[in-house]
Amino acid sequence: MSQEFIFAILYTLAFGAILAAGEVLHNILRVKTEFTRKFAHSTASLLSLTFPLVYTGYRYVLVMGILFFFVLLIAQHRDLLRSINDVSRKTYGGILLPVTITGAFMVSVWLDDVKLFIIPVLIMGISDSLAGLTGVVFGKNLRKVSIFSIQLNKTYLGSTIFFLTALIITIRSLHWYLGNYNTYTIAAALCVAAGAALVELFSSKGLDNITVPLTALLILLMF
């Protein structure tokens, strides 16, 4: 039994434990679904950041991604995992999460560039979650973003937090992998943060779980 296979089992158990913890928080401790959704979203994203430490190929990550995609898809259609699916709006965010994580990891392996995985997933797991929680916590007290008289279902505060955290994440990550701050890292970080924030503004129904990291990845590929 290979070490990578053992880790795949451990990762599967860990992701399952995240889902189980969310169910306990929601069904027993009565934590609101919006909070338990973000809990699962963030912790699963952050846990996946350790994949490059374990895997040089993407085979096991692909298998886990397919497994959890179908688990979450079945749960959504059968009204299971209430900590994720107990919302009135139609959302595809849950089932898109394993797709995005798996896809980003595969691209990073193909191009032998780990930052193409780390930065998009960090932005998805931290920036997107913080922006969403801002709306949940402050609710109707926040002013919604309006563009050409069209009101979006996003707030100015949430979008600002998204942009700033995405900028910090990208600058720090590029510095970590490239070793210095220069015009390149600052320009790349600004473009990634601005592009991801703009896409997040117009993404609804949980589609930002794929549009945001995809945008970040594509912009990084341009530099």
Maximum mean pLDDT: which of 136-140, 147-151, 161-165, 206-210 = 161-165
Q: 217 pLDDT exceeds 90?
A: yes
Label residue 124 exposed, middle or buried (CB < 10 Å: 0-12, 13-18, 19+).
buried
Residue 210 identity: I
Q: Using CB atoms within 10 A of its CB, is residue 90 exposed (0-12), middle (13-18) or buried (19+)?
A: exposed
pLDDT given at position 43:
96
Angle formed by the axes of helices 33-48 and 128-138, nearest 10°: 170
Angle, helix 115-122 to helix 156-178, in steps of 10 degrees? 160
- Contact between 196 and 216 under an 8 Å Cβ cutoff? The reply is yes
Residue whose C-alpha is closest to residue 11's, from 74, 57, 63:
63
Judged by average pLDDT, the poorest of 60-69, 143-152, 204-213 is: 143-152
pLDDT by residue (tens digit) across 147-165?
666 666 778 888 899 999 9
Q: Summarize pLDDT for 10-53 with one digit per residue, the tens.
A: 999 999 999 999 999 999 999 998 899 999 999 999 999 999 99
**Residues 6 or more apart from 180 whose CB is under 8 A from it?**
none
pLDDT tens digit sequence for 80-118:
899 998 887 788 888 999 999 999 999 999 999 999 999
DSSP summary character for residue 155: E
pLDDT of residue 134 exceeding 70 = yes
Tell me if 158 sits within 8 A of 136, measured CB to CB. no
Q: Give 182's DSSP letter.
A: -
pLDDT of amino acid 178: 86
Evaluate whether 18 touches 37 at the Cβ level (below 8 Å).
no
- Of the pLDDT bands very low, low, confident and very high (cuts 50, 70, 90), residue 201 is confident
Confidence band for 202, pLDDT divided at 50, 70 and 90: confident
**Percentage of residues of the chain with pLDDT beyond 90:** 70
